[in-house]
Structures are given as structure tokens and as C-alpha cells.
């Protein structure tokens, strides 16, 4: 009996010792785990759109995570060359890869199929729900909210110009430089003009497409043409500072024109014409996704936002969308107060942007229209913008 007790004690001690050793090993492996994070950019830090992502990458580098997170990037990668860049990052041993331009999404998903142990996160993508993969994710800020708020800023400036006799009501025309006739761009400029019209109900807008994301020359040229056509405020959904520079140069030559920026503050390149800018705060998703992979968690359960399967978005409420640098020297009186009030209403879900006495026309099918009297809820089911109609008698597409 005594021998059995001794054997039992020894066995228990052995089991405890093995458990302790295994626990120490697991802890050590967790402690020593290092992950590599890859980024594919269609531009570089000279382009505001790409630089906005690079800021999120720098946050990862600055946090350092005790040396457990290493970032690598491929810059100036045309969308059609995405395959080569992704192959290189896979070869380098990346554990999670962020592709940052819409045109990468199909090849990114193909790579996700072939590399199930790597997480692929596509910004601005809309294909996560189609044949979902556990390691393929999409994400985007609900930027229509920021466009709407900057539209209000523009509208207040228009009203000031009308009240002061600088322009007439009939001259309340804004211009917009867009990259492509995608829903992402159309949704954005529609939200912008709807924001303008909350202040100046008769305002109209002209839109010119560049059919590229990253051409400084084309973007600047389109902005100049819109200014020459009488647009007194220019905004953009394009990647360079070209439109801001066009406004600044036109103002210096005597034109009355102001600018609303995107992705970054334009105060440094257009200090006398920039009213404000909006941007998506990509770090809200990127840091959370990286931390999820680092600690072995599911990405969507580690990100604060509106989750739709493997797709996540967010607006002002989650700090995914931000307004940058309202220029108090030229913005209309009361602008900052109006902006803060509108943002608070967004946070309380009190605003439906796409609503009013408007008819939208599908640019690809004139017979397909939408009546906005009852409202349209953007980003209701996905992070990618879906509103894809041109407002009749309000928006003109200029060839």
C-alpha cells in the first residue's frame, strides 16, 4: 500500500513537471513569435492616398511590439503588376499582407486561395462575401460621411460668397475630380454635393474623370478645366495634390476658387485655398488586424467596426473617418461648430445622407433609376460604397 502511494506521488510529480515544461515551452514560443507584415502600394509617400496607408505602417513600426512585428512594402506597383509584388511578399515569409488599391483585389484573393496560412487584407475591396475564404478580408472607412461633412464646409463657404456678393446664386457651382466612374467615387461625390446642398439648395456640380488614380498632371489639368468652367470650389477623389495646386495657382492669378482635400491636409501645398480635408484612418483596422495575427485571434473579432462576415468598415463613431485642418482663416463663420454638430449626429445615427427630392440615374443604364425620397442607406451591408447613381439635374459629368 505504501509503495502504491509513493508511485502515485511520483506519477503526479512527473505529470506536473511535464505540464509545467509544456506550459513554459508554449509561453516561450508565444513570447518569441515574430510576424512579418507586407504592404502593396500603387504609389509612394508623395501620393496622399498611399501616404495615408504608409502612416498606418509607420504606427506599426513605431509600436515595435517588442520587435515581434516587422513590416515590408512594395511601392509604385501598377494594379496589373500586383501578382509579382504579392509573389515576392509570400516568398519573403509574410504572415499578413495588405493590398491597398481596388484593382488588386482579384489577384489578392487568388493568392489567398493558394496560401491558406497567410492572411490577406484588401482595402476598398468588395469581393470578400463572394465565395468567402477564411484568410481573405476586405475593409474600408465609411468615407461618405466625411464627404458629406466637407460638403457642408464647402456649402457654408458658398453661402458666404453669395451673401457678400462675390458670386450669385446661379454661380454656386462646385467641381469634382474623380479617378474612375466606380461606385466608390460616385458615392463620394454624391455625398459631397448633398452636403453642399444642405446649405445652398440650388448648388450644382460638375465632375471630370481622369481614368487613373495617380496622375498629378491629369488631376491638375481636370481641376483647371473645372475652374475655367466657373466652378468656385474643387474637391477630389484622386490620389495626388494636383487639384489643390491648381486651385492655389488659379487663386494667385485672380480667380475665386477654394479646395476641399482628401487623404491628407492640403494646407502645406494650398494654404490660401484649402478649406479642409477628410480622410480614412486606416490604422484603426491595420493595427488591430496585425495584433490579431500576432496573438492568434480572428481578425474580425479583434477589430472595432461594423462587421459583415470577413468585411469590416467604420465611420466617425469608430474614428475610421476624420476631418483634417479646417482653415479658420478662410472658412465661413460657424463652420467648426457646424462640423462638430454634424459629426455628433453621425455618431448617434441621426443622419441619412442619400435622401431627398432627387432622382438618381444609373450611368450604365439610363432606364435604371432610383428615387431618394425614402432614402438609401450606404454601407448597410458592406464596407465598400455601393451608391452608383448620378443625381439628375444636380450632377453633370464633363467629358
Report the CATH number at residue 101: 3.40.50.2300
Residue range 354-361: average pLDDT?
98
> Residues 172-226: pLDDT tens digits?
999 999 999 999 999 999 999 999 999 999 999 999 999 998 899 999 999 999 9
> Which of 267, 301, 317 is where one domain is finished?
317
> Residues 292-322: pLDDT tens digits?
999 999 999 999 999 999 999 999 999 999 9
Please tell me whether residues 178 and 226 are part of one structural domain: yes
* Within a domain: 325: yes
Provide the pLDDT for residue 21: 40
Q: How many angstroms separate the CA atoms of 280 and 316, rounded? A: 10
Residue range 355-380: average pLDDT?
97
Provide the pLDDT for residue 32: 52
* Within a domain: 11: no
Please tell me whether residues 87 and 124 are part of one structural domain: yes
* Within a domain: 261: yes
> Residues 243-289: pLDDT tens digits?
999 999 999 999 999 999 999 999 999 999 999 999 999 999 999 99
Please tell me whether residues 89 and 156 are part of one structural domain: no
Host domain of residue 100? 32-141+282-317
> Which of 291, 317, 343 is where one domain is finished?
317
Beta strands in the chain (DSSP E): 35-40, 69-74, 96-99, 119-123, 136-141, 173-178, 204-209, 233-237, 258-262, 274-280, 306-308, 311-314, 321-324, 359-362, 365-371, 390-391, 395-397
Residue 161 pLDDT > 80: yes
Please tell me whether residues 330 and 350 are part of one structural domain: yes
Kindly report the length of the chain: 399
Residue range 17-27: average pLDDT?
40
Residue 131 pLDDT > 80: yes
pTM for this model (two decimals):
0.90
* Site of grid cell 485571434: 297
Provide the pLDDT for residue 15: 40
What band does 4 get if pLDDT is binned at 50, 70 and 90?
very low
* Within a domain: 1: no
* Within a domain: 288: yes
Number of domains in the chain: 2
Among 253, 255, 210, 252, smallest CA distance to 232 is for 255
Please tell me whether residues 189 and 255 are part of one structural domain: yes
Please tell me whether residues 346 and 202 are part of one structural domain: yes
Provide the pLDDT for residue 11: 47
Largest CA distance in the chain: 106
Residue 147 pLDDT > 80: yes
**CA distance from start to end of the chain:** 97
Please tell me whether residues 303 and 325 are part of one structural domain: no
Please tell me whether residues 295 and 250 are part of one structural domain: no
> Residues 53-64: pLDDT tens digits?
999 999 999 998
Amino acid at each position: 500500500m505504501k509503495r502504491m502511494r509513493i508511485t502515485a506521488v511520483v506519477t503526479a510529480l512527473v505529470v506536473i513537471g511535464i505540464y509545467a515544461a509544456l506550459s513554459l515551452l508554449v509561453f516561450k514560443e508565444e513570447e518569441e513569435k515574430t510576424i512579418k507584415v507586407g504592404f502593396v502600394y500603387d504609389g509612394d509617400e508623395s501620393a496622399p492616398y498611399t501616404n495615408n496607408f504608409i502612416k498606418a505602417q509607420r504606427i506599426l513600426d513605431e509600436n515595435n511590439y517588442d520587435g515581434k512585428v516587422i513590416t515590408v512594402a512594395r511601392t509604385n506597383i501598377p494594379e496589373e503588376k500586383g501578382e509579382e509584388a504579392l509573389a515576392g511578399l509570400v516568398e519573403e515569409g509574410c504572415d499578413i499582407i495588405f493590398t491597398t488599391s481596388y484593382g488588386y483585389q482579384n489577384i489578392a484573393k487568388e493568392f489567398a486561395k493558394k496560401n491558406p496560412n497567410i492572411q490577406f487584407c484588401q482595402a476598398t475591396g468588395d469581393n470578400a462575401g463572394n465565395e468567402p475564404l477564411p484568410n481573405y478580408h476586405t475593409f474600408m472607412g465609411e468615407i461618405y460621411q466625411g464627404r458629406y461633412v466637407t460638403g457642408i464646409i464647402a456649402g457654408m463657404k458658398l453661402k458666404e460668397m453669395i451673401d457678400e456678393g462675390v458670386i450669385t446664386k446661379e454661380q454656386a457651382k462646385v467641381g469634382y475630380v474623380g479617378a474612375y466612374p466606380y461606385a466608390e467615387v460616385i458615392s463620394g461625390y454624391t455625398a459631397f454635393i448633398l452636403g453642399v446642398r444642405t446649405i445652398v439648395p440650388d448648388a450644382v456640380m460638375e465632375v471630370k474623370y481622369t481614368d487613373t488614380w495617380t496622375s498629378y498632371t491629369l488631376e491638375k489639368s481636370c481641376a483647371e478645366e473645372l475652374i475655367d468652367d466657373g466652378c468656385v470650389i474643387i474637391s477630389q477623389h484622386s490620389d495626388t495634390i494636383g487639384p489643390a495646386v491648381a486651385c492655389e495657382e488659379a487663386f494667385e492669378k485672380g480667380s475665386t476658387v477654394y479646395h476641399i482635400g482628401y487623404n491628407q491636409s492640403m494646407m502645406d501645398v494650398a494654404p490660401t485655398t484649402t478649406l479642409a480635408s477628410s480622410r480614412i484612418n486606416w490604422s484603426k483596422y491595420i493595427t488591430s488586424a496585425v495584433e490579431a495575427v500576432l496573438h492568434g485571434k480572428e481578425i474580425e473579432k479583434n477589430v472595432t467596426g461594423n462587421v459583415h462576415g470577413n468585411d469590416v468598415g467604420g465611420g466617425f463613431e469608430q474614428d475610421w473617418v476624420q476631418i483634417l485642418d479646417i482653415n479658420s482663416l478662410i472658412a465661413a463663420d460657424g463652420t467648426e461648430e457646424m462640423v462638430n454638430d454634424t459629426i455628433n449626429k453621425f455618431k448617434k445615427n441621426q443622419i441619412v445622407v442619400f435622401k431627398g427630392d432627387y432622382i438618381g440615374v444609373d450611368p450604365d443604364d439610363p432606364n435604371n433609376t432610383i428615387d431618394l425620397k425614402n432614402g438609401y442607406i450606404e454601407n448597410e451591408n458592406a464596407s465598400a460604397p455601393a451608391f452608383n447613381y448620378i443625381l439628375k439635374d444636380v450632377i453633370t459629368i464633363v467629358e
